[in-house]
Structure 1
């Protein structure tokens, strides 16, 4: 007799969601979750600065899919069955009040990821799911009526197996050993390390709507830009790092970017500056930042344009304004390396998507073997999209996992 009907490897978001929804579909099943460490849901704990960004308020499947640099095509179908609205309903039906913030991110009203963790633990307890910690899986093998697992705590067997271990290189290697095609991992969602006088001593400054491009490539993005102690971050950079994950890795994270701080006004930037001369003639440039740019950033760009701090609009030359226009619309920065975005470490890479039936998230080659979450070569930009991938894949897999005779 098999030890479990359904066994889930990985005590994270996708693993718990798969186990709980499988149990809900078929409460009589013997279901287990094996976690290699002594804590579960650790990524849920730190998500969104400890608030847990559960999803993103985008309700059109095809539009939602565009937020995935890898997986856009494959997720369109699944999103028609389970996406944002279903995710929010799932949590709210279990007493978790949610809120949508101005940028579309969805959080529990408690502003605490523990609310989500406690919900999952209650569900696991309610359905009698066997949660085992410190059970690291060393090998999996297909047997006549299911799967056999070798773990640090002994051998176990199951009819159906779900693997939701995220970017775990040991598991990737183990799956490669049984014949699955694995796409090598590279980091995604990272910030840019830049040493430049224009960014010195102004961490925390935000430019609201910039356009950023990587020189020598077709990569570009737009959105808010944040100056950090080590360089640049915020959505404009994070989107670029996600969609350019492979290309930027190939450049060894040494490249140049060009930033347009005034993308809505770049065509007439110089003309606007020239028109300010009579309008602000007695004022100093340093005291009259334009385009809603933060004063500290404006001051840095004036320095880069070699406009002295005491210069008035009456005295500034056309050549100086041309130099300022260049800084505003086409400022070039040298990137030297990357840094992890907060505690969120996301990778591009994982199981080749050609291996997966996206109606059920089952392996095409191995019967009764399922996957969900970041173990697949799917990754989203920041804002709740990676969790939505986990919820969707786990939910659809659960519909099939629950069909045990």
Structure 2
């Protein structure tokens, strides 16, 4: 889960897809605050990290599992481990479901008045729903890093952490194929269109700010993972090839950096070697001193109190503009200054695939939200199928997913709670009506 002290509307900003649909469930039925209380009362003390993620104070996930198992046992839930569900079918004449399972070498058939599909990203849950007439939004990967093409400014920087970087996706098929900037104004690219359809500000979807980590194959870290999440469907359309623009000193722009470097060329630092670093130049000049005391605009909202430009990155930037190793600030030409400023604030990072590491991979896509009742006001309808009475969905099988930081866990807790209560109320109502024994 994510920081329970934040309001529901702030939490909902962490969902690139499903934000509108999850609003009632997270606001009214099982909010982060209620989730926090549930686990605390179940004997799992929690702690909130600086970036908003919530963990057991013990740092042991087994404590969470144990609390859930105990709660299930106390409620009289019967668990059948080592059992594979082979299929779920609606029996319209009987008004119930036939569930086929295999335990060991034995195939068993059972009936159920209600079924909750909570199969995560596994294809079986989508297959059962499709067999019962539901539409499926094709699943695509989300929350991954980027494999970069050779000869980027980050080559050879594996292991370097950059605490505050602004990543912007070039949003056009042309840019994804050639690296060219999109031509024409007012034409929304695929990523912007997908974001708008999901109720997300396209500018926020295409530009994410936060920490990144350089790896042997490319980049990962919160900003990269968030960018891949908000643009997951467009990146799939691009076949995971395109260009990301990186600003290594946000919120500065090239013009501000050029002004600071021009001042350094004729100022007290003019005889210093450029390769020794640019941190002092960027944090002391009036045009750029905001870089030293700005608030990061990432989802975690942390304040970077003391900004430093990593030396290995700066050396790579200097090499990218073919700056002589011994060059001083006084030696810089206008072309050198322009090149350094652009490499620092709008470096082009060509990516050729997803990162080979699994990281926090989740699936974007699932059961069409148009065919699921997300109303929080009806005690029997929340997370129910609009096509098949008694059928409920929760978790990652829904077409709703979040960014890294506990948002996908919160969706699972909230939708699981809502679906469980609604299904129980549905069955109890049938019993009261004498429809089932």
Aligned to 1:16: none
2:409 is aligned, of 381, 387, 390, to 387
Tell me if 1:90 matches 2:38: yes
State the alpha-carbon separation in 1 of the partners of residues 273 and 207 from structure 2.
34
Q: What value does the CA root-mean-square deviation take over the aligned residues?
A: 1.7
Is the CA contact (8 Å cut-off) linking 1:223 and 1:236 kept in structure 2?
Answer: yes
Is the CA contact (8 Å cut-off) linking 2:132 and 2:388 kept in structure 1?
Answer: no
Is the CA contact (8 Å cut-off) linking 1:363 and 1:369 kept in structure 2?
Answer: yes
State the alpha-carbon separation in 2 of the partners of residues 340 and 163 from structure 1.
30
| Larger strand proportion of the pair | 1
Structure 1: stretches of 5+ with no match in the other structure: 1-53
Aligned to 1:148: 98
Is the CA contact (8 Å cut-off) linking 1:55 and 1:87 kept in structure 2?
Answer: no
Aligned to 2:139: 185
Q: What's the offset of the Cα at 1:341?
A: 5.6
SS of the residue 2:145 aligns to: strand
Tell me if 1:255 matches 2:277: no
1:271 is aligned, of 256, 259, 263, to 259
State the alpha-carbon separation in 1 of the partners of residues 361 and 110 from structure 2.
31
Q: What's the offset of the Cα at 1:58?
A: 5.8
1:173 is aligned, of 120, 127, 140, to 127
State the alpha-carbon separation in 1 of the partners of residues 2 and 96 from structure 2.
34
State the alpha-carbon separation in 2 of the partners of residues 55 and 221 from structure 1.
18
Moved segments of 4+, more than 6 Å: none
SS of the residue 1:76 aligns to: helix
- CA deviations 1:271-329 (Å, max 9, x no partner) are 01122232322322222232521111111111112112222223222321111011011
- CA deviations 1:156-189 (Å, max 9, x no partner) are 2222211100111133122211111111111011
Q: TM-score, normalised by structure 2?
A: 0.77
SS of the residue 1:104 aligns to: coil
Tell me if 1:358 matches 2:378: no
Aligned to 2:6: 59
Tell me if 1:244 matches 2:231: yes
**Number of aligned residue pairs:** 352
Structure 2: stretches of 5+ with no match in the other structure: 173-188, 193-205, 283-307, 376-381, 432-437
Is the CA contact (8 Å cut-off) linking 2:248 and 2:345 kept in structure 1?
Answer: yes
Deviates more, 1:115-124 or 1:184-193: 115-124
State the alpha-carbon separation in 1 of the partners of residues 166 and 36 from structure 2.
32
Tell me if 1:377 matches 2:399: yes
Aligned to 1:112: 60
State the alpha-carbon separation in 1 of the partners of residues 229 and 152 from structure 2.
27
State the alpha-carbon separation in 1 of the partners of residues 19 and 71 from structure 2.
31
Aligned to 2:337: 321
Aligned to 1:38: none
Is the CA contact (8 Å cut-off) linking 2:143 and 2:359 kept in structure 1?
Answer: no
